[in-house]
Amino acid sequence: MLVQSERRPRFGTLAACPRRAFDPAGMACCVAVSGVNRVRLQLDQVRGAVNAIDPVFLDTPALPCPPLGHMLGCSVTLKVETLNPVRSFKGRGTETVAAMARRKGASRVVCASAGNLGQALAYSGPRRGLEVTVVVARTANSLKLRQIAAFGADIRLEGEDIEDARVLAREIADADGAYLVEDSLDLATCEGAATIGLELVRDDPRLEVVLVALGGGAMASGVGYAVRSLADHVEVIGIQPVGAPAMALSWRQGTVVETDRIDTIADGITGRYPIPEVLDDLLVVLDDVVLVREDSITAGMRALYEHAGLVVEPSAALGIAAVLEQPERFAGRRVTTILCGSNVGPADFARWVLEPAARVAR
Ligand SMILES: Cc1ncc(COP(=O)(O)O)c(C=O)c1O
């Protein structure tokens, strides 16, 4: 069942935005295009975030993948965000937010997480002298839990999904005075993710379409903002699973739409209550939001394994899933998709990727 909350005016349709000259280096002083200056992010803050981020998360490979492109009927570039200690893009945001928490005098940080944010905060916090507590739903992926524990964070298990965990994280922050990291609402998490967008524009003067997985929205709002500011002609599309569509439905209706159930294997994308401020940003910076089926997500994981030799978790296959579902939309175009995480356990990977691939090969 969907619950439509208070109607908010939709603003910033891209059709209304004057286009600005393309700056391939991404370095020129940006004249904000109409709409972009209403987004919470600012380009100088995003550029400043680069200095706070451990270089291990930066300048990630953008790999052309002709075999995958051949299969999909378009040119494919894979922005690989999995070759770092936490195996996801979330480290960019937690580096930025941990630096901010430290500057504000915090000694402890707490967050709710489906797993990847928690793991990344568990990496970034202690490097700045911060104790880290991560609240995770009881249904969380056991690999992600093990990784969070391995980085030394205190783990609290709470409720059925990320929304239950968010409530407890807020209570812990109120009771202990710990700095609450609210993913996507905390601007630093979006600024960190936006550095991916800086790199995409800097590294590919022919950038044409960028496909971004959409959960709470830190990555899509950050990447969308950077791309929209520096290369406004590029199409930026957010992707959610049909089984976790809250932000996509909200974007389409221009108002927050809450859902009461999550049903997807893409466990990085499980929010049910979109954050209004993030939705407002996404309404300005995204060109479209699409929903993809579960069988397309596993097909995307298989395609990435077979044609690029890459292991990704379901959320990272959403971009390829979108191309599989709408080949005519992307035919002949230059498509870049962000491979945003690879925290998938061996049993799940075997079930979703290896066993079906072996059956086809037989
Ligand atoms: C692998 C992966 N992809 C995508 C997302 C969604 O990112 P965001 O919440 O910034 O929209 C997440 C969120 O944790 C994630 O872990």
Measured CA to CA, the distance from residue 337 to residue 317 in angstroms comes to 9
Residues 301 and 249 in one domain: yes
| 116-129 mean pLDDT | 98
| 289-296 mean pLDDT | 98
Asked if pLDDT for residue 9 goes beyond 80, the answer is no
| 177-194 mean pLDDT | 97
Residues 247 and 336 in one domain: yes
Residues 80 and 218 in one domain: yes
Residues 270 and 198 in one domain: yes
Measured CA to CA, the distance from residue 227 to residue 43 in angstroms comes to 10
User: E-assigned strands of 131-171?
Assistant: 131-136, 154-157
Q: How many H-runs (helices) and E-runs (strands) does the chain carry?
A: 15, 12
Residue 91's pLDDT band, with cuts at 50, 70 and 90, is very high
Strand, helix or coil at 130?
Answer: coil
Strand, helix or coil at 334?
Answer: strand
Asked if the structure places residue 282 within a domain, the reply is yes
Residues 212 and 345 in one domain: yes
Residues 306 and 218 in one domain: yes
Quote the percentage of the chain above a pLDDT of 90: 85
The binding-site residues of ligand 1, defined as CB within 6 angstroms of any ligand atom, are 88, 90, 114, 116-117, 183-184, 193, 213-220, 268-269, 313, 315-316, 340-341
**Where is the domain boundary, 181, 208, 230?**
181
**Total domains in the fold of the chain:** 2
**What pLDDT does 360 receive?**
83
**What is the best residue among 269, 286, 318 to mutate for testing ligand 1's pocket, by most ligand atoms within 8 Å of CB?**
269
Residues 177 and 319 in one domain: no
Asked if the structure places residue 226 within a domain, the reply is yes
User: Which residue in this structure is represented by tokens 């202990």?
Assistant: 176
Asked if the structure places residue 1 within a domain, the reply is no
Which tokens belong to 167?
């409530």
Tell me the CATH number at 286.
3.40.50.1100
**Where is the domain boundary, 138, 163, 181?**
181
CA-nearest residue for atom 5, ligand 1, is: 268
Contact between 40 and 279 (Cβ < 8 Å)? no
Quote the percentage of the chain above a pLDDT of 70: 91
Asked if the structure places residue 249 within a domain, the reply is yes
> Average pLDDT of the chain?
91
Residues 146 and 292 in one domain: no
| 78-87 mean pLDDT | 98
Asked if the structure places residue 124 within a domain, the reply is yes
Measured CA to CA, the distance from residue 114 to residue 84 in angstroms comes to 19
Measured CA to CA, the distance from residue 317 to residue 342 in angstroms comes to 10
Asked if the structure places residue 160 within a domain, the reply is yes
Burial of 332 (0-12, 13-18, 19+ CB in 10 A): exposed
Burial of 138 (0-12, 13-18, 19+ CB in 10 A): exposed
**Where is the domain boundary, 181, 199, 225?**
181
**What pLDDT does 34 receive?**
55
Q: What is the DSSP string of 256-301?
A: -EEES----S-TT---SS--HHHHHHHHHH-SEEEEE-HHHHHHHH
Which residue segment(s) compose the domain that 67 sits in?
A: 39-87+187-361
| 117-146 mean pLDDT | 96
Nearest atom in ligand 1 to 213's CA: 4
Residues 82 and 106 in one domain: no
Pick from 309, 333, 310, 308: nearest CA to 322:
333
CA-nearest residue for atom 1, ligand 1, is: 341
Residue 362's pLDDT band, with cuts at 50, 70 and 90, is confident
Residue 183's pLDDT band, with cuts at 50, 70 and 90, is very high
